[in-house]
Structure 1
Amino acid sequence: MGDIELRHCHHNSNEPSPSAPDESNLTSINNSEAFEDAPPNGGYGWVCTFCCCMINIHTWGINSSWGVILAHFLSNSTYPNASHLDYAFIGGLSIAMCLLLGPVVTKVYNIIGSKLTMLMGTGLVFGSLLGASYSTEIWHLFLSQGICFGTGMGFLYITATAVLPEWFSTRRSFSMGLAASGAGLGGVLYNLAAGAAIQAMGIAATYRVLAFCALGGNLISSLLMKDRRSFREERRGRTFNHRDLSHFEVLLMVLWGVTTELGYVTLVYSLPNYATSIGLNPQQGSITGAILNLGLTIGRPLVGYFSDALGRITISTVMTAFCGLFCFAIWIPAYSFAPLILFSLLAGMVCGTFWGTITPVTAEVVGLNRLPSTFAMICLTLVVPTTFAEPVALSIVASSGYLSTQVYVASMFILGATSLWVLRSWKFYEIEMKAARESEGIEVNGASTSFPSFFRWIRPRKLFLNGRV
């Protein structure tokens, strides 16, 4: 297996055939281009990592404070005609809008570049939070906190997430993990800050404070973030391609995303409510939510580091499975504060594996050239699960209680890990197939007559192959 991987890594599909004229000149050009396009694996990439982390803090972090704001609205009947389901949809709508705009953001990004795209997102996030501070009806919040904020978050997050992987090769997952940890860190900071600000200044002033904090953090990050120069012209030709969904390997990543998002969103929004349902006070419930975000902050860089060392698909599979096991083994029997805190920390370290590793895994599967368009396609497929994850969870709780919800969440993570397990086997299949093509003298895009199709090739033992993928 190691020999097969080595041959695959050094194979160049653009390498001229032995009979081609001026072979030495063409080889020299190819080697020069490969050298120029090699990511610096650091340098200014660490500045971009910091900027991406800051963007996550001031988008996903602020979005996670919705739980604190929601508690205030419900306890004070701020909007008397609004139901619990209305509020649940506002939180999911902001995430759904972020993901729904993936193709649009990719198109804008291809035309005007990353800096202007993120500056547009900065303005939208600031305007949405400022507008929410003047809301007097529930539909005002749908437009501001839901649609406008989610749109701005999409322009910021999707662009930054597509730019960062181009700066790294062997440290790609680690850098993405550091950047993604900003969502957890922002969740901790903004949950605590929003709670204190509401008590001290009221909800309208709190929204304005959040607006100006977001403006400062996102504006600086947008100005400092930049594309790798050697990729700029190449990116202009890339567009959103819905045909990505016709590829089996992309469908496996979509299944991973859909299932884990159904579990992840439920954990983030429902864990404090579960705490109060077992007799804990609201303050203890808010602490469980903060500890979950703390786990995200700690876990995402660690998952990224081990992904680079041991294989991005392999580690993502294991961590996703661990989250399902933690739900079964710790969350279900957790009827007191101490075991619930333990579950919040451990689950927080692994429940956000998808967002911490999706871009490195996608780059492994489709390559850097197709990364922005494929990532946008995957985001688009997550609109429905992120919108309805919390309403579905609340419906299950209302009809069957929290035990059914816990089993449902755990099963979603186990199903997501299973899809990655099959994807891991597919990656080994791709490596072996390319090695077979090379041995037969067939071009990389050609078909090997002696190598079986994936569905004929895969066997139970193929799922347990050793190797770094």
Structure 2
Amino acid sequence: MGSHSTAAEHNGKSFNSGSSVEVKSESSPIQQLQPPATNSSVYDVPDGGTLAWLQVLASFFVLMNTWGIINTFGAYQTFYEVDLLRSHSPSAISWIGSIQGCLLSIVGALTGPISDAGHTRALLLAGSFLVVLGTVMTSLVEQYYQAFLAQGVCFGIGAGMLFVPSVAVVSTYFEKHRSFAVGVLASGSSLGGVIYPAIFHQLQPKIGFGWATRVIALAALVTLTITNLATRQRVLPTMRRKLFDVSALHEAPFVLCTMGIFFGFVGLYIPFFFITPYALAKTGANSTLAFYFVPILNAASVFGRIAPNALADRIGTLNTLVPCAFFCAVLAFAWIAVESTGGLIVFAIFYGFFSGSFVALPPSTITALSKDLRKVGTRLGMSFAVGGLGVLIGSPVGGALLNLKTGEFVHAQVFCAVAMMISCVSLAMARVAKSGFAIMIKS
């Protein structure tokens, strides 16, 4: 009786799951890195060790080949506008990248119960296949609808099958350092957003669009193979998560935070999609330098995903997320006045840093706002789905507001800035609803 009560106490503290758990037993060389789980080891989160950090590496590659490739779309946007899909508007082209992010979030929300049922490995295999297939088929496209189906729909569904299950596995290996671990794995998306555009830019003039894209597909295949070999689902909740939690709608902090995430994603990716044509039109940068503004954004984002997450473990997630959203809004307003190459580089570095923080912090924030840890998975799925709708509409609206022929970007820039400011206000209201106006409270 005593051992059961102790387990229950540990369960409420350590896991976002039900009242009891069962261990998924698999025999593999990687699993032999730690002894078989006992009742004690199941409830005592490792918070480090070789196997735990292998899960971070596996999820790092997932982020590299999901959000990382989505962050690369700015390079494809520019290429499509001047070459393959030049007969289509920037807004129409940006729908391809937007549907990627939207499907990643919405499909990710739907995969939670499947992962809870012990099918994480099947999700990873299927998702990896679709991501690689979508990228390979992108290399063959000649028309808009083909790009939309291959690069947008096929890739987006595959990315959604990978993202949430992978991050969920990591969360069961860490407790005290969970925000830091999530920040490390989230930096994979930034690294992908640096490496893949550079690959595309360097290889496309030499070997053509098709083969440059196939090289990216090969890199995704190799790194996702490592993910599939290394991932080990440590525990399974007995109580499967639901797709929707009605009680969450009665909790002001959760509702306001989700609103903040939605408006943030409406504006967040506009610079990633349109900074290259802006550099060409406004700063006089040559085509090579203009292209590298997307990697600069993503390189700065690496640090933005790690450092603020480490800080959030100390001062609280909302206390970190609100200033990051505020600085994104201020920088978006400042972007309007930037007309020099040096100024745009400074903007890219700072906006990349704070936008990276905005992307990395919401999972830990939603977890911190959930009173019942058994419902965290459901609430994460709900927030991701709403955020995905923001990704879906944000960049196409931004594309519709700009005019490449006249070089008018100001309406898209204002739209980005206002969306980020509304996000900041919503997140600040969530913080007040949770902890009041006291500044020094960890929240």
- Give the TM-score category using the shorter length: 0.7 to 0.9
1:73 aligned to 2:80? Answer: yes
Aligned residues: 409
1:312 aligned to 2:312? Answer: no
Q: Aligned in 2, Cα 1:84/1:401: closer, same or farther, shift over 3 Å?
A: closer
**Match 1:409 to one of 411, 416, 421:** 416
1:53 aligned to 2:57? Answer: no
CA distance in 2, matches of 1:464, 1:182: 35
Partner of 1:389: 394
CA distance in 1, matches of 2:191, 2:222: 17
Gaps of 5+ in 2: 14-39
Partner of 1:288: 293
**Match 1:263 to one of 264, 267, 270:** 267
Cα displacement (A) at 1:349:
0.5
Cα displacement (A) at 1:30:
4.4
What secondary structure sits across from 1:148 in the alignment?
Answer: helix
Q: Aligned in 2, Cα 1:283/1:37: closer, same or farther, shift over 3 Å?
A: same
Verify the 8 A CA contact 1:181 1:301 in the aligned structure 2.
yes
1:335 aligned to 2:313? Answer: no
Whichever residue aligns with residue 274 of structure 1, its letter is Y
What secondary structure sits across from 2:292 in the alignment?
Answer: helix
Partner of 1:254: 258
Give the TM-score normalised by structure 2: 0.86
1:240 aligned to 2:243? Answer: yes
Farther off after superposition, 134-143 or 237-246? 237-246
Cα displacement (A) at 1:166:
2.3
Partner of 2:367: 363
What secondary structure sits across from 1:352 in the alignment?
Answer: helix
Cα displacement (A) at 1:301:
0.3
Q: Aligned in 2, Cα 1:392/1:172: closer, same or farther, shift over 3 Å?
A: same
Cα displacement (A) at 1:468:
1.2
Q: Aligned in 2, Cα 1:400/1:68: closer, same or farther, shift over 3 Å?
A: closer
What secondary structure sits across from 1:241 in the alignment?
Answer: coil
CA distance in 1, matches of 2:292, 2:10: 54
Partner of 2:227: 221
Cα displacement (A) at 1:281:
2.5
Verify the 8 A CA contact 2:276 2:291 in the aligned structure 1.
yes
Partner of 2:141: 135
Verify the 8 A CA contact 1:188 1:293 in the aligned structure 2.
yes
CA distance in 1, matches of 2:271, 2:257: 21
CA distance in 1, matches of 2:101, 2:6: 47
Partner of 2:192: 186
Cα displacement (A) at 1:79:
4.4
Farther off after superposition, 271-280 or 338-347? 271-280
CA distance in 2, matches of 1:71, 1:321: 28
Cα displacement (A) at 1:46:
1.6
Give the TM-score normalised by structure 1: 0.81
What secondary structure sits across from 1:121 in the alignment?
Answer: helix
Identity over the aligned pairs, expressed in percent? Answer: 22
Cα displacement (A) at 1:332:
2.8
Q: Aligned in 2, Cα 1:355/1:198: closer, same or farther, shift over 3 Å?
A: same
Aligned-pair RMSD on alpha carbons? 2.3
Cα displacement (A) at 1:275:
1.3
CA distance in 2, matches of 1:268, 1:82: 19
CA distance in 1, matches of 2:286, 2:3: 73
Residues 201-216 of structure 1 aligned to structure 2 (within 5 Å): 201-216=207-222
Partner of 1:175: 181
What secondary structure sits across from 2:170 in the alignment?
Answer: helix
Q: Aligned in 2, Cα 1:70/1:411: closer, same or farther, shift over 3 Å?
A: closer
**Match 2:164 to one of 158, 161, 169:** 158
Verify the 8 A CA contact 2:75 2:294 in the aligned structure 1.
no
Verify the 8 A CA contact 2:169 2:232 in the aligned structure 1.
yes
Cα displacement (A) at 1:242:
4.7
Verify the 8 A CA contact 2:131 2:159 in the aligned structure 1.
yes
1:197 aligned to 2:203? Answer: yes
CA distance in 1, matches of 2:259, 2:86: 39
**Match 1:427 to one of 430, 434, 441:** 434
Whichever residue aligns with residue 394 of structure 1, its letter is G
Q: Aligned in 2, Cα 1:189/1:28: closer, same or farther, shift over 3 Å?
A: closer
CA distance in 2, matches of 1:28, 1:264: 44
What secondary structure sits across from 2:440 in the alignment?
Answer: coil
What secondary structure sits across from 2:338 in the alignment?
Answer: coil
Larger radius of gyration: 1
**Match 2:384 to one of 374, 379, 400:** 379
CA distance in 2, matches of 1:156, 1:358: 18
Whichever residue aligns with residue 102 of structure 2, its letter is A
